[in-house]
Structure 1
Amino acid sequence: MKALKKPLIALVLSLILMQASHQFSLRFDLTSDQRYSLSEATLTQLTNLDKPLRIDVFLTGDLPGLYREFRGELDVFLDQLEYATDKLIIQYNDPFEIGSNEAVVREMQQYGMSPEIVIENKDGQRNETMVFPWMIINYGDVSERVSLLSKQLGDTDRDKISRSIQQIEYLIMDGIGKVTRETKSAIAVLTSHKTSKNIKLADFLQSLRPYYNLASFDLKNPEISPEQSLTNLNRFKALIISNPNKAFTQTEKYILDQYSLQGGGILWLVNGVGIDRDSLFNSAGKAYGFPLELNLDDYFFNQGMRINKALVQDLYCAPIVLANGSANNTQFIPYPWSYYPLPKPESNLIGERIGPVLTQFASPIDILENTMNQSVLLQTSGFTKTAGVPVVVSLDQATEKIQPSGYDEPSKTLGLLTEGEQKSLFANRILPMKNANHLNKGKGKSILFSDGNLAENQLDKGAPLQLGYDKWTSNFYANKQLLMHAVHYLSGNLDGLLIRQKKWNLAYLDAQKIEAKGMLWKVMMLLSPLLIALGFGWLNQRGRSKHSGA
């Protein structure tokens, strides 16, 4: 009986622990970067779910190496979500189970989900695999497709997967936020002052709609008094002013001044130099640049910034595609175009992990001493030069040999955030309009980019293309990401931006060393357990021999 007592106790304790494990589930994240801990914003979002939320994942099937790793991290994150809420339903769907590759691609593209072609070279053979790194999130009658890849210009496959792994939480929670959002803040888009045409802003505004209610705003509407314009503008969280080409009056500046002091955020996309692009791309291939006078110098000066009336040229630039030859012999050749700088956003709440941004005929921003907090969002490389106005811009310059020695100026600021306590431009001055609630100071925030075309998408046969896509080179730039983050920041929608700040310490094996010494390590891993076992056996035998001899 005594012999059975200990095993029985061990069995009972095991059963008790198993039952307790079902009743009380505990998890501990022991990673230094807390990669397996959900952010507070994510937990709040999950707590607010009041009905089932279904996620259909299409990254499944026979996946290539890097994507298997990505899928593993995706599974871990989705498991965390399931642990945090009982409202989640996750379904994995292999698209290639429904038919041939062509039929699958055609059907998936109808839903806006394009495949990713993965090329692997292994043992001297080239293998092409098609994967769909997508998911669809369904909540009630609302659905949202989510791309799981975060791509940037010039990425290697490893860069792309690493960045996507780090942004899994942001990408998925952003999609969940779109389908669960019940109320939206209001954003105004200025339509007066010859700003960007609607079709040029189509993709940017369409991308903002899941987050905000958008409305056009006309500061020059003759049927509305200035007082009523200010009242109407104060209803909006933020105002977008894209590529104005008509000067602002004192009254209009006062309205913007008071709107900002009352907490409204303003996104300015303004050119310092006017370039007639139609003239540049006609048969002459030449255009003249003159200062663009918008009567905003004192307004920006009051906020500690000034747009310099000059054009920035940068060695790190995007290409421009020019036609060479005629008729059937025409060739389209890309040339580096220094008037199209490719700055990479600064690593802050707005620009974190964003790729290069395409700027066109931008001007340097001077940062002036001011009481407000100022943060650089965008700046050129350290190899730049500036061309003062008036300036002649000719397409022939693109074909000329670049002289790096001429790009000897330091980096230039192209994007600036100003926020905090500020003084009114009209403090201690005669006001241009009646305002019973006039403020001499207040807390405001503005973002200025010195490229009026930053938010404008290209057109193909009259239809808008995706913002950031260049149809001539097929390159994707990060304009939309940067501007979306800027609007989120100005409107106080910070949860997603804070989630993006989460950093993982990813460590990878050196592929070259693996290839060079892989066989050696395999042999060592195979023989090591055997050698260790033999060593312990020998020591054990020797110990027994000594004991028996004694």
Structure 2
Amino acid sequence: MKKIDLIRFFTILFFSILAFCMSTFLSFRIDLTQDKRFSLNTSTIKLLKNIQDPMLFTIYLDGDFPSGFQRLKLESLRLLEEFRAENPNIKYILVNPSENSDSQARRDTYTQLKNSGLSAIQIKVEEQDGVKEQQIFPGAIVSYQDKEWPVSLLMDQFASNPEAQINASIQNLEYSLATSVKGLTDNYRRSIGILHGHDELKPIETASLELSLSKSYDVEHFNLREFPIDTITGEPDLSKQVMQLNSFDLIILAKPKMYFSDLDRWLIDQYLMNDGKCILMLDAIYAEMDSLSYSPDFLAYPIISDLNLEDPLFSYGVRINTRLIQDMVCASLNDRKSILPWVYFPLLLPQTNHPIAKNLNAIKMEFATSIDSVRVPGVKKTPLLFTSPYSRSQPMPGKVSLSTLYNKPTQSKFQEKGLITAILLEDSIPSFYANRIAPKTSYRTPPVKANNAKLLVISDGDFIRNQRNLIRSDIPRGAPLPLGFDQFTQQQFGNSDFIQNAIDYMLNSKGLIYVRGREVTLRLLDSQKIEKNKNLIIGTNLIAPAGVILIFGIIFRILRKKRFVKFSK
């Protein structure tokens, strides 16, 4: 008997020591969730492996906040724990920027955070003496070596309830935090060229986008019509112009107004045929807000044919129509008396799961037109932005009048839906010059079709134009404002995020951007059912635990009594 007890003792001791050693020296994690919400994307893991020095995430979500922000904080901390499991150099701290009792010190902290790139929001917090407004910064500052990167943890979403906004933000957490890691550790910077030479948007009008892109990319302005001079012949050197253009990883053409010669079109075409990436933002209709400064209406008319780009675009697989979009789901216009919605400013709420547009804030366009998709073999087409079910297209030439601002639109007249305003073309885009005579040049003939080209076409030339300050006194008059911000209605739209996501996707379509397309199911309680069955739930939670314990106690007592009765006999 003693021998059996000793064997049992040493067996238990052996397995206890083995379990202790395994838990101490071996580390493994198993994700049993259906949507793998506790597993990091392989692109994120690769980025984390590149961190050689301590990286500090300072999360500004400490404090007594509503439940939604508490959930956002907990999910952020959980994700950072996943990061740290992959690389112990990951560190994080929680900070409450409002904890200082000195009001001047708090204001200084707020100013410092705003200067670092974080945005503040106002929330209402219930306290014993009533409800007060509190300023919070739902974001983080990531520090690595001598660099910093601001991260917004709360996504802007137009017309979304707070719960949906929090849910979308939680789904986007991995992408937001991993993007900061990429920006701080990536030593290779791709180049972006903003084209000029055809009266495009001025640098001051794209300054906000350039500032945002400059954190991750090298951004340059490139004049398509200014050719380098050959030092021997003294003549313009086409081959050098082609080499300079092809040195860009992506080119942007925003709102050209002048005619494209055959050579101009060939330069862009050969760039695409060499698997180039290009974003075209074109106005098919002349319609400018400046025209309303002199008159309550103006004549809008087609100008797309004046650019000489219709034929190349058609051969690639798209046609930009000359019908002006009106949409009942629209942004507002400030006429200095009131702020009223205007049908010529369509608001596009992303309706796709594509990583470029998924979960984005509403996107504002001005005087946009619809886009048709043309069937071209080998070209993958993905519409990214659509109008609402309550839209229509107005034939041009036609009058644009402020009277539509003051007269409520009749829904029965807005029966068109899903008009495309942005479309992405990918893969084997054919050359416009495949069966045509190319401009006379000694440069080698480009391929007749691309293998992995990408072309994003947007039917609003002002899509990336930032407003310039006319109202605020604390910054210089005429200074560029953030892209997508309307100073007259104080609304922030998602134009900047859309373009940055598009650039990230086009330059690295198999990388980190696909984390945005990941679907994480948040299994939340049904608030309506909770309210309906409130008393039943409270009663069950009070009585059920005590009842279960009582039942087990009775069963245990009966079994124990039977056992002792049996032994007594």
Asked if these proteins are the same fold (TM beyond 0.5), I'd say yes
3-state SS in 2 of match to 1:351: coil
Find 2:202's aligned residue among 188, 197, 200: 197
Find 2:417's aligned residue among 410, 416, 419: 410
Deviations 1:420-455, CA, capped at 9 Å, x for gaps: 223321123222131223332223221100000111
Structure 1: tracts of 5 or more residues without a match: 324-331
Find 1:358's aligned residue among 361, 364, 367: 364
3-state SS in 1 of match to 2:300: strand
1:299 corresponds to 2:301: no
Match of 2:446 in 1: 438
Cα shift at 1:127: 5.2
Is the alpha carbon distance of 1:108 and 1:493 closer, same or farther for their aligned partners in structure 2, counting shifts above 3 Å?
A: farther
Cα shift at 1:210: 1.5
Aligned counterparts of 2:478 and 2:501: Cα–Cα separation in 1: 28
Aligned counterparts of 1:69 and 1:25: Cα–Cα separation in 2: 27
Cα shift at 1:116: 3.0
Q: Is the 8 A contact 1:312 1:386 kept in 2?
A: yes
Aligned counterparts of 2:17 and 2:100: Cα–Cα separation in 1: 45
Q: Is the 8 A contact 2:125 2:131 kept in 1?
A: yes
Cα shift at 1:78: 0.9
1:380-529 counterparts in 2 under 5 A? Answer: 380-434=387-441, 435-443=443-451, 444-460=453-469, 461-492=477-508, 494-529=510-545
Aligned counterparts of 2:371 and 2:129: Cα–Cα separation in 1: 52
Is the alpha carbon distance of 1:388 and 1:227 closer, same or farther for their aligned partners in structure 2, counting shifts above 3 Å?
A: farther
Q: Which amino acid aligns with 2:524?
A: Y
1:244 corresponds to 2:253: no
Match of 2:34 in 1: 32
Aligned counterparts of 1:355 and 1:114: Cα–Cα separation in 2: 15
Aligned counterparts of 2:468 and 2:204: Cα–Cα separation in 1: 8
Aligned counterparts of 2:447 and 2:68: Cα–Cα separation in 1: 57
Is the alpha carbon distance of 1:397 and 1:175 closer, same or farther for their aligned partners in structure 2, counting shifts above 3 Å?
A: same
1:64-143 counterparts in 2 under 5 A? Answer: 64-100=66-102, 103-112=105-114, 113-119=118-124, 126=131, 128-143=133-148
RMSD across aligned C-alpha pairs, in angstroms? 2.3
Aligned counterparts of 2:191 and 2:534: Cα–Cα separation in 1: 58
Aligned counterparts of 2:258 and 2:101: Cα–Cα separation in 1: 57
Is the alpha carbon distance of 1:408 and 1:513 closer, same or farther for their aligned partners in structure 2, counting shifts above 3 Å?
A: closer
Q: Which amino acid aligns with 2:85?
A: Y
Aligned counterparts of 1:93 and 1:51: Cα–Cα separation in 2: 22
Q: Is the 8 A contact 1:458 1:467 kept in 2?
A: yes
Aligned counterparts of 1:441 and 1:359: Cα–Cα separation in 2: 32
Q: Is the 8 A contact 1:378 1:416 kept in 2?
A: yes
Q: Is the 8 A contact 1:261 1:422 kept in 2?
A: yes
1:338-377 counterparts in 2 under 5 A? Answer: 338-345=343-350, 346-371=352-377, 372-377=379-384
Find 2:283's aligned residue among 271, 291, 309: 271
Cα shift at 1:258: 0.6
Cα shift at 1:203: 0.9
Cα shift at 1:262: 0.4
Q: Is the 8 A contact 1:57 1:90 kept in 2?
A: yes
Moved more, 67-76 or 104-113: 104-113
Deviations 1:100-143, CA, capped at 9 Å, x for gaps: 35532442333323433222579996454443322111111111
Q: Is the 8 A contact 2:353 2:517 kept in 1?
A: no
Cα shift at 1:544: 4.4
Deviations 1:233-267, CA, capped at 9 Å, x for gaps: 11111110011111110110011111100011110
Q: Is the 8 A contact 1:488 1:494 kept in 2?
A: no
Aligned counterparts of 2:507 and 2:558: Cα–Cα separation in 1: 76
Q: Is the 8 A contact 2:196 2:222 kept in 1?
A: yes
Aligned counterparts of 1:341 and 1:71: Cα–Cα separation in 2: 34
Match of 1:326 in 2: none
Match of 1:20 in 2: 22
Aligned counterparts of 1:357 and 1:127: Cα–Cα separation in 2: 32
Q: Is the 8 A contact 1:189 1:217 kept in 2?
A: yes
3-state SS in 1 of match to 2:450: strand
Aligned counterparts of 2:157 and 2:149: Cα–Cα separation in 1: 22
Structure 2: tracts of 5 or more residues without a match: 229-235, 470-476
Q: How many percent identity over aligned positions? A: 28
Match of 1:288 in 2: 299
Q: Which amino acid aligns with 1:541?
A: R
Aligned counterparts of 1:513 and 1:41: Cα–Cα separation in 2: 40
Aligned counterparts of 1:355 and 1:123: Cα–Cα separation in 2: 35
Moved more, 146-155 or 93-102: 93-102
3-state SS in 2 of match to 1:341: strand
Moved more, 176-185 or 283-292: 283-292
Moved more, 238-247 or 2-11: 2-11
3-state SS in 1 of match to 2:416: coil
Match of 1:327 in 2: none
Cα shift at 1:44: 0.5
Aligned counterparts of 1:410 and 1:32: Cα–Cα separation in 2: 35
Is the alpha carbon distance of 1:62 and 1:245 closer, same or farther for their aligned partners in structure 2, counting shifts above 3 Å?
A: same
Match of 1:57 in 2: 59
Q: Is the 8 A contact 2:44 2:512 kept in 1?
A: no
Q: Is the 8 A contact 1:226 1:433 kept in 2?
A: no
Q: Is the 8 A contact 1:59 1:71 kept in 2?
A: yes
TM-score (norm 2): 0.90
1:378 corresponds to 2:391: no
